[in-house]
Amino acid sequence: MKLDEKKEIKVKLKQIMRKATLPVIITIAVVSFLFISPLGKSIIASGSDLYQKLNVLQEIIRIVNDSYVDNPDWTKIMEGAYRGMLEEMDPHSVYIEPKQLDNLNEQFTGKFEGIGIEFDILDGYITVISPVAGAPAERAGLEVGDKISKINNESAYRIKRDDVQKKLRGPKGSEVTVTIRRQGQADFDVKIIRDEIPLYSVSAAFMIDDSTGYIFLNRFSGTTSDEVEQALRRLSGEGMKRLIFDLRNNSGGYLEQAVEIADKFIAGRQKIVYTKGRLSSANEEFYSGRTEPFEKIPLVVLINRGSASASEIVAGAVQDLDRGLIVGETSFGKGLVQRQYPLRDGSAVRVTVARYYTPSGRLIQRPYDGTIDEYYDTFSEENRDSLLAIKDSVANRPKFDTVSGRTVFGGGGITPDYSVKYDRVLVDETYKLLRHPSRVIFEYASDFVKKNRDLANDRQNFHRKFEVSDKNFDAFKKMAAEKISDLNLKQIGEDKDYLKILIKAEIARGYWGYDDYYKIVRLSDNQVTSALNSLAEARKMIYGR
């Protein structure tokens, strides 16, 4: 097309746009795209039928705009069209509305600005479940169990969760006054200066015994590598000689962070993961390179059906390079790489640009023929975690070799070296109790902590000797009956031992934080026990003995 012709088309388009209806505007946009933009001209030149499809789209828009029974909400309609288009490609290419984008970016940048509390709405009040360590709320003296009755002198009773975020979050340096209701005291005001609040990737890091460290990682965000490094060095200083690295229910995050985490354990220059896409810019190889003090530490990685993406990169590299053992359940099977592209209206799209492969060449992405619902429905199947571990199933899966010649399997997810199904079957009434919004265990433990503060003076003795007595459990059941009127107390008594563990863990968290909570809970976790039992074999993989 000649330069003069282009100018003439642009002038005519501008004249028409002043009087155009929405369908006409969309038609003009389609024509402009096809005949003026380089991408549009390349589509026509390639003989693609996209031109015809765009014509059909604008025809549908015209019909809906002219004939639909109500005035169409075009924002809602077009956002639905964007989502549907991307869902047809694969389960992980998505359209992100502007209002969702900030929350998603927050999760992966690892910080936001506010007062720094984990909270829930209990009995109509914002209740502090845990102040974030070092955050303004903790510095101002807020405690576990405190209830916020007012925000800036306005009642916060029966406030909606979304409104809590709007009122308590705000720019660094701004001020908010909250009125605190604390057991045994008159309501009092606390002035808090908002600050930057970290979102931690490491949920817990502690010593299981004198030589075994444990790290529980919940995501791969921008701060993950630094957090894991700090946890490893702290545990090493406490005597860690071997490690359980728990990636269960870690849905992933940044690929680069996964590479950095794997690099902490993998010696020399070895391939950790590689990606292959249609564009050459999407083809990359990632190698280990740094010398780390943790490259010889016996390692077991725990995974389950909720472990995906970056978690599978780490687990796959550890397994393929014979760096450690994988224990648990077959992972989710997300082996697609997305790039996020901002759009002019403040929204964004995440588009799959490549597939990723483990060092041995395994594609971890599981098949996704069918609908999005079908793809995710298998996640909740009771026996999903063991389907790929039985002989008949494994025999039909593609086989690959680790660096030492061990056989590993592709075809969807990471199959653990030792398949161990999580063994915790509870009665329905116990599930009702645990899922009830009243959070009875938290309420009971908070009350217990306030009445027994002397127990906080002997942390080691608490872990070794403290037990929730039958008298304590009866008091807990009484509170549960008051909070949940239709709860069958006799039935929850069948799970008394497990509930006592959770109560003890919640009390420990009230005294010392999440490390102590998870230490108590994990010691009754059969998958963690299996990981402990596998560490001797993991050592042999490194030292031959």
pLDDT score, position 19: 43
Q: Which residues contact 240 (CB under 8 A, 6 or more apart)?
A: 207, 211, 212, 213, 232, 297
Residues 392 and 479 in one domain: no
Mean pLDDT of 483-488: 94
Mean pLDDT of 321-341: 93
Of 74-83, 283-292, 297-306, which one has max mean pLDDT? 297-306
Residues 454 and 374 in one domain: no
Residues 348 and 455 in one domain: no
533 to 158, 200, 418: CA distances (angstroms): 49, 29, 11
Q: Which residue has the tokens 């007012």?
A: 150
In a domain, 33, yes or no: yes
In a domain, 233, yes or no: yes
Mean pLDDT of 82-99: 87
Residue type, 169: R
CATH of the domain at 172: 2.30.42.10
In a domain, 385, yes or no: yes
Residues 365 and 479 in one domain: no
Residues 497 and 440 in one domain: yes
Q: In angstroms, rounded to a whole number, what is the distance separating the alpha carbons of residues 527 and 248?
A: 10
In a domain, 78, yes or no: no
Find the helix packing angle between 428-435 and 440-451, rounded to 10°: 70
Catalytic hit among 221, 225, 309, 534: 309
For the CA atoms of 439, 441, 447, 452, what is the dihedral angle to 10 degrees? -160
| Cα 436 from chain centre | 22
Q: What is the average pLDDT value for the chain, to the nearest integer?
A: 87
Catalytic hit among 147, 334, 477, 519: 334
Q: Token digits for 169?
A: 């979050």
Q: In angstroms, rounded to a whole number, what is the distance separating the alpha carbons of residues 526 and 420?
A: 8
Considering only 155-164, 204-213, 498-507, which range has the smallest mean pLDDT? 155-164
Residues 432 and 408 in one domain: no
pLDDT greater than 70 at residue 394? no
Last residue in a domain, options 173, 198, 223: 198
What does the DSSP assignment read for 229-273?
Answer: HHHHHHHHHTT--EEEEE-TT---B-HHHHHHHHHTT--SS-EEE
Global pTM value = 0.84
CATH of the domain at 406: 3.90.226.10
Is 393 among the residues known to form the active site? Answer: no
Mean pLDDT of 21-38: 52
In a domain, 62, yes or no: yes
Residues 447 and 488 in one domain: yes
Residues 222 and 291 in one domain: yes
Find the helix packing angle between 440-451 and 470-483, rounded to 10°: 130
Mean pLDDT of 389-408: 76
Q: What pLDDT band is residue 39 in, cutting at 50, 70 and 90? A: low
Is 334 among the residues known to form the active site? Answer: yes
In a domain, 89, yes or no: no
Q: Token digits for 412?
A: 């969807």
pLDDT score, position 318: 98
Residues 407 and 314 in one domain: yes
Residues 23 and 145 in one domain: no
Q: What pLDDT band is residue 20 in, cutting at 50, 70 and 90? A: very low
Q: In angstroms, rounded to a whole number, what is the distance separating the alpha carbons of residues 329 and 244?
A: 15
Q: In angstroms, rounded to a whole number, what is the distance separating the alpha carbons of residues 315 and 85?
A: 32
H/E segment holding residue 205 = strand 202-207
How many domains does the chain contain in total? 4
For 122, half-sphere exposure in the C-beta direction (CA atoms, 13 angstrom radius) is 23
Is 263 among the residues known to form the active site? Answer: no
Q: In angstroms, rounded to a whole number, what is the distance separating the alpha carbons of residues 329 and 420?
A: 6
383 to 206, 378, 386: CA distances (angstroms): 31, 9, 6
Considering only 36-50, 65-79, 493-507, which range has the smallest mean pLDDT? 36-50
In a domain, 266, yes or no: yes
In a domain, 491, yes or no: yes
pLDDT score, position 390: 46
313 class by beta-carbon count within 10 Å (0-12 exposed, 13-18 middle, 19+ buried): buried
**DSSP conformational letter for 337:** E
Q: In angstroms, rounded to a whole number, what is the distance separating the alpha carbons of residues 229 and 344?
A: 38
Q: In angstroms, rounded to a whole number, what is the distance separating the alpha carbons of residues 261 and 249?
A: 17
Residues 212 and 176 in one domain: no
Residue 215: domain span: 202-422
pLDDT score, position 395: 62
- Answer whether 115's CB lies under 8 Å from 166's CB: no
Considering only 16-25, 208-217, 445-454, 487-496, which range has the smallest mean pLDDT? 16-25
The Cβ of residue 488 has, within 10 Å, a number of other Cβ atoms equal to: 16
pLDDT score, position 372: 73
pLDDT greater than 90 at residue 361? yes
Residues 285 and 392 in one domain: yes
Mean pLDDT of 334-359: 92
In 3D, which of 418, 420, 396, 388 has the Cα closest to residue 406? 418
